[in-house]
Amino acid sequence: MMFADQERQAFDLGRRMSEANFSLQDNPFERIHPRLAVQWQHGFFATHVLQNLSAGLARGALSTKRLQPRLVSVA
């Protein structure tokens, strides 16, 4: 049970470090414990992927708005 808590904390730390723009090489568990290092990476990638998806969707939404034709009324 205690190790599950540590894994969860490693995951959460990975998420927070990704949000703070740390890199993958900044994994603090890399040389300490392999399982915690993997949990940290999972948290890091979870946030990193979500950030990239939301940024990509925002860029996509902006580009589709630019490509939509404008309706011009002739009076």
| Residue at 39 is within a domain | yes
Rounded CA gap, 6 and 32, in Å?
Answer: 13
| Residue at 75 is within a domain | no
For residues 17-53, one letter each, b for 16 or more C-beta atoms within 10 angstroms of the residue's C-beta and e for the rest, the string is bbeeebeeeebebeeeeeebbbbbbebbeebbeeeee
| Residue at 46 is within a domain | yes
The number of folded domains in the chain is 1
| Residue at 74 is within a domain | no
pLDDT in tens, 31-69: 999 999 999 999 999 987 777 778 788 877 656 555 555
| Residue at 18 is within a domain | yes
Q: Which two tokens stand for residue 7?
A: 């894994």
**Are the beta carbons of 13 and 40 closer than 8 angstroms?**
yes
| Residue at 55 is within a domain | yes
| Residue at 22 is within a domain | yes
The pTM is what?
Answer: 0.67
pLDDT in tens, 9-20: 999 999 999 989
Range of the domain at 45: 2-67
